[in-house]
Amino acid sequence: MSFPNLTRLFFFSALVAASGASASDFQSARTAGLGGSGHAAPILTDAIYMNPAMIAFLNAYSVTVTRNSYSGPDSHEPKGALLNASIQDGTNSLLAAGVGYTRKSFGKEVTVGASSRLFQNYGIGIGGKFLFGSESKDSAQDATVSALGSPLPWLQTSVIVDNALQTTKSKQWGLSREIILGVKVNVEKLMLIYFDPHLVPTKPAGDSYGYELGAEIPLFTDFYIRGGINRNSFQTQLNQYGRGHGFGVGWSFPRLSLDAAMTRTISPARTNNFLISITII
């Protein structure tokens, strides 16, 4: 292995060892492997959930299916599975859109997103959430608005307001308004670093500030390893805020992407999670 690869692996290992998910109500295996980070530049169908403004920059049709299996220590509670299917059309930069369906143990959600590319490196997006199918919660709706820009070749930034409506019914689902700054730094094409600080002004209890921090290393032209940590972030399988970390790999083919991740939620309840995503492009 070359010296640059050894350097990247050292940094990556240090990041994972530093363990401390995001506001998005769903995470693919790629996002989970990054500890929930990546709001500045989500790829494949992740843009529907993390940053709809990015859809217009993904010039392809994409279909993704994801399974997230989780359980407490020694396979105890909480345990269950989260299933997702998403489809996205980013071929029209003036109006690109996507839709996804997520089934959790405590309800179902349909998420939509649309965006427009205003200039070569800037865009805006809007998304909607429709939550239903719970025996204990009322059906609810909420929205996401976002904007992104790439002011430098090695820097991409985004601002996202998730759960912008923050209705009484959406709060029943654990959704609070969240303001996210997404930052992606390309370090000489050797490593991609993602840092997503966020603020939850009306968080019911605890610190309103949190973050996700992740890194992605291309070991070969088509194989990636990922790692990340998060603090005071939305843990999708629990629908509560907490902290955890993740590790993942990705293998990209011309018309197919395979991603897998293992994550651990440390609080509010300890869970071990295994995710796998398959995307056809």
Query: In the CATH scheme, what architecture does the domain 3-280 have?
Result: Beta Barrel (2.40)
- Of 228, 230, 274, give the one whose Cα is nearest residue 75: 274
CB 209 within 8 A of CB 196: no
Contact 185, 153 (CB under 8 A): no
pLDDT band, residue 225 (cuts 50/70/90): very high
Tokens 């859109």, residue located:
97
pLDDT for residue 24: 59
Confidence of residue 1 (pLDDT cuts 50, 70, 90): very low
- E strand or H helix at 270: none
Q: CB of 178 within 8 A of CB of 203? A: no
Can you tell me whether residue 70 is helix, strand or coil?
strand
> How far apart are the C-alpha atoms of 196 and 27, rounded to whole Å?
15
Dist. CA 109–CA 118, nearest whole Å: 29
Q: What beta strand segments (E) does the chain contain?
A: 61-71, 80-89, 96-104, 107-119, 122-132, 140-152, 155-162, 178-187, 191-199, 209-218, 223-235, 240-252, 256-267, 271-280
Banded model confidence at residue 194, pLDDT cuts 50, 70, 90 = very high
Please write the tens of the pLDDT for every residue from 30-39: 999 999 999 9
- Beta-bridged to residue 257, according to DSSP, are 252, 279
Residue 3 has pLDDT above 50, yes or no: no
Task: Note the pTM of the prediction, 2 decimals.
Answer: 0.87
Identify the pLDDT of residue 11: 38
Q: Where are the domains of the chain?
A: 3-280
Concatenating the DSSP letter of every residue in 165-230 gives: S--HHHHTTT---EEEEEEEEEETTTEEEEEEEEE-TT-SSS-SEEEEEEEEEESSSSEEEEEEEE
Instruction: Give the model confidence (pLDDT) of 29-80 as tens digits.
Output: 999 999 999 999 999 999 999 999 999 999 999 999 999 998 877 666 677 8
Structure confidence at residue 134 as a pLDDT band (50, 70, 90)? confident
Q: Is the pLDDT of residue 176 over 90?
A: no
Percent of the chain with pLDDT over 70: 89
**Rounded Cα–Cα distance for residues 170 and 217 (Å):** 37
Collapsing DSSP states into helix, strand and coil, what is residue 96?
A: strand
Distance CA 65, CA 28 (A): 9
b (16+ CB within 10 A) / e for 132-167 = eeeeebeebebbbebbbbbeeeeebbbbbbbbbbbe
Predicted pLDDT at 239: 73
